[in-house]
Structure formats: C-alpha cells, structure tokens
Amino acid sequence: MNMKLLFQDAAGFAVPMLAVFAVDIATGDDAEPLPALLSTSDAVTNAAAKVMASGEFKAGMGETLLLHAPGGLKPERLLLVGLGKAKSLSVDEVRKGGGVAVRIAKLRSLRTIAIAFPEDHALSDEHLDALPGPLVSRALVEGALLADADYDTYKSDRKDTSLLTLSVVAKEAERSARAEIQEGFDEGVIVAEAQNFTRALVNEPGNVLTPTVLGQRAAAMCAEMGLKCEVYSTEKLHELKMGAFWAVSQGSPEPPALIVMTYEPVSGKSDTPVLGLVGKGITFDTGGISIKPAEGMEKMKYDMAGAGAMIGAMRAIAQLKPKVKVIGVVCSAENMPDGKSFKPGDVVTAMSGKTIEIVNTDAEGRLVLADGLHYAKTLGCTHLINAATLTGACVVALGMVNAGLFSNDDATCERFQAAVEISGEKFWRLPCTDDYRELIKSQIADIRNTGGSRWGGATTAAMFLKEFVCDTPWVHLDIAGCAWNDEVKPWIAKGPSGIAVRSIVEWVRSYSA
C-alpha cells in the first residue's frame, strides 16, 4: 500500500472516499447521544450537518454512515466513523476507527481513500481530553494497515482487495507539530507491517510452515532488516543438552529449529540491559501422546504465535533502532504422537540441569520455553520476556479479551504495563508467587510439567517457567485466548491477531529512553 501523510484541507482533497471521525459528547448514562465531528473544517461540518442533527448517526464505537456526493466537498463520498464516548476516547479507539474506515472501503471495492486526522481541539476540554498527536497518527496508520490484511491466502479464486493508496490528511500545522505527527506516522507503518508479518506467519498451515521453514523465513527477514540470524537444529540441541526441547521434537519426522536473532545498537551505554525475547514456536500441536480432541485441532497451527510475535517484534526493532541490545530466541518444533514420542511418566533433563517429570505431553510449550529461556541467559540476556499460546486455563480465566501477564519482578512488569498504555493491547496480571510452587513438585524429579487436574493451570505453567529464569527479571505473556480472532470485527479480519508485537516493541524501546 502507498501510505501518505499530507498537510492540507481534507475538504479539498479529491479522493473516492474521505473518512472523518466523530464522538458522542453527551454526558450521563441515560443521556441521548450527541454526536460531534473531530474536525474543524467548516466544509466537512456543513456537509454532515443534517445527518448529525437527525439522530440517525450516534457515533458509537465502530458505527458508520456513508454520504454520497457530499455538498461542498471534493471527495466523492464522506464516511462518518464513530469512536464512542468522548470522555473515554483513547488512541486505541482511533486505531480501531482507522481500521473501520479501511474495512468499509474494502467492502465497497474502493482502492484509494483518505482519512482525516482527528482534531481533538474541535471540542472543548469539557468534552474531550487532548490526545498526543504522534500517538494518534501512529495508532491511525496501525489500525488502517492491520485492517487491510485478509487471510483467505489459499483460495483458488482469491481476489486482491488491498488498498492501493491511503492518505492521512491533517490540517496545516507548525513545523515542530508536523514533524511529531510524521514521526508517529512512520513508526506506525513500521510496527503495523511487523504485526502483519507475524499474522501472516501464524496463518500458515502446518504442512507449509514447518520448524525448518519458520527458520528460513526468520533468516530471510533478518537478512532484509540487517539483523544477525543463526538457525540450528537437532545437533545443536544435543550439543547444548536441551533435553526438554528435544523431548517435544522427537516424535516428529520434522526436525526442530532453534532460531537466534540478534540486534546490536549502533551506540549504547555499557550498563544498558540485554533484552531476551523468547517465543514458543510449536508449528503444529496434536498434544502428542496426550492427544487433543479432534474438534478444533485444526487451529493448532497457531501454536507458534508466540514465536511469530518475537520474529515480528525483531523486524520492527531492526527499523526503530533502540539503543539497547536485543536477542530473540525461538524454539520451534512439532508435537506429534509417534513411537519415538516422549510419554507421560518420562523424566527429561533440561539445559539448566533441572529434571522434569512429564505428566502430560500436551504441556509441551513450557518445555521448549524452559530451554529457550535458560539459553537466552547464557547468551548474556539480563532481562527476559516470553510469549506463548500456553494454556487453555488462561482462556478460561480471562476469555478472549485480555491475555495473561505474569512476572517475577514488579519494576519489569510495571515497565511492560506502561508499554501497553501505548500499544493499546490488553493484558491482565495474574499471580505466580512461591506459594503456588507446591503444585509442580514431583516425587521422582525436580519438578513436573503440569499441576495435574487441580486449579490454577495458567499460574502453574508460569511457575514452571519461573524455575528456569530464576532471579532474572522476567515477563511471561500467555496469549492463548487472544492470538486468533474467531469472529470478524468491524476493524479487523477474522484470523490471526498478531497480539504482543506492539507491546513487546514498546517494552524494548522503554529501555532505550
């Protein structure tokens, strides 16, 4: 897509469709909606005046109304996009609004559109708190690019409905303000393209995206972006004594892939942390000998979404160039039932030397992460973050709205939560305190890989991982419930979400400030 940021009057911009945002400025829970445009253009306001006064359009989140041949405007169509209540407006609603505009354009086979930059100063402070311009422009372009992607990749009659040109049109501003808005716009393009890169990986079927192919795609991305990349397989796992990772791999004819991506800053302080990004890359998960039910198993191609998030984050990091070293580690394998598969009751030895009793072979993601997290520490990482579609228990606890967040260090967790304020993604912190450790004790080994059928499955998985990070500051993201959109939303297609990419990138950048 050709993305442009223009500083001119949107009303005079000749384009098939111009999208303008609106909010509901009514106060009180029972008050009638009172829609107001986030635009100071008299021409745009006049063109929409009748419908805004009619009560037909209420400016609810994701609500739209399309006007054809709007009087006094050069655009052929004027699309009003609601962002919900003014007082609850944040940059995330702007992100979704940008997505809504693009999805509406795609439904009408429009390949060129413009979106008017939301002017919060169109309303008084009484109705709307000011939003930071750079974050608004970033969110707007992120929403638009994320909405443009569709995942009907292998349909034989597939038609490309992607936009050819998207223009974000802002009013003339002082040079400093223009520079800030442009910076946010450019960052939005980088981050959204990285998230879409992740989504494309997660969408691939297991017969296409094997661990080997995932390694090849990561290496190709690194070569393009100037990152160092090393991809290892079975021999390296044995050399490093990654017994937990290898146990998961051994039941499949597809060899595992240990992917190591490294970003070196051009300049940085000697005391700057080294950040480790570790992703679970199970390219297909049958559950192994503890096999899953057949219903819904086709979605288990998404079990590498954590790895995809780390690869996408590294892509954005390479372009944003934070002043901190970052090492991405992906542990990729298939979990298959076979005569060579690991079995319930087996005891394996992780790279750290800790022994693990296998209670359930479907608790395999934590095994590959155990070796990945320890390996990242041996590479010099001083702070760790991992992402994984790890537990169904986290989905039961939080549903499909929030992903799980665990940490052994409050300061590191708070830094991540600050990053989420920028990314707009939703994470909810759950406990992994030492009083839960009893649940993963084993009679025969150091620990076991599940807490059995008892309560707290998301936390026991986090407690297992905590054994391998020890005192290293660490964040664990359980994204099982949010890595796949089961339903079409007004601002994004059904399919892979690419969750965690934006938050991980912001977490990394926070160490560069």
The DSSP code for 492 is: B
The label of the residue with tokens 């009514």 reads 26
Amino acid letter for position 404: G
In b/e form, how buried is each residue of 165-194, taking b as 16+ CB within 10 angstroms?
A: ebbbbbeeeeeeeeebbbebbbbbbbbbbb
C-beta of residue 193 within 8 angstroms of C-beta of residue 145 = yes
Q: Of these residues, 171, 236, 292, 323, which one is catalytic?
A: 292
Q: How far is CA 301 from CA 209, 298, 411, 501, in A?
A: 9, 7, 34, 18
Residue 256 has what DSSP assignment? P
Encoding tokens for residue 262? Answer: 């490294």
342-373 core/surface letters (b: 16 or more CB in 10 A; e: else): beeebbbbbbbebbbbbbbbbbbbbbbbbbbb
108 catalytic residue (yes or no): no
- Calpha distance 216→231 (Å, rounded): 8
What the block records as the tokens of 303 is 């079990």
Q: Burial of 232 by CB count in 10 Å (0-12 exposed, 13-18 middle, 19+ buried)?
A: middle
d(CA 79, CA 466): 50
As given in the structure block, the two tokens for residue 56 are 């037909």
Given the residues 366, 377, 415, 448, the one annotated as active site: 366
Q: CA nearest 498: which of 349, 243, 304, 233?
A: 304
159 catalytic? Reply is no
The encoded tokens of residue 93 equal: 């609603």
Q: Which tokens is 194 given?
A: 């990285």
**Single-letter amino acid, residue 74:** K
**CA 438 to CA 458: how far, in whole Å?**
15
CA angle 478, 484, 490 (to 5 degrees): 125
User: By 3-state DSSP, what share of the chain in percent is helix, strand and coil, each rounded to 5?
Assistant: 40, 20, 40
CA distance 504 to 312: 10
Cα dist. 395→211, 319, 370, 399, 456 in Å? 26, 33, 22, 5, 12
Q: Give the distance, in angstroms, between the CA of residue 143 and the centroid of all CA atoms in the same chain.
A: 12
Nearest to 22 by CA among 10, 9, 39, 40: 39
DSSP state of 236: H
Q: Which helix (H) or strand (E) holds 308?
A: helix 305-320
Which amino acid does the sequence have at 46? N
**Residues belonging to the active site:** 292, 366
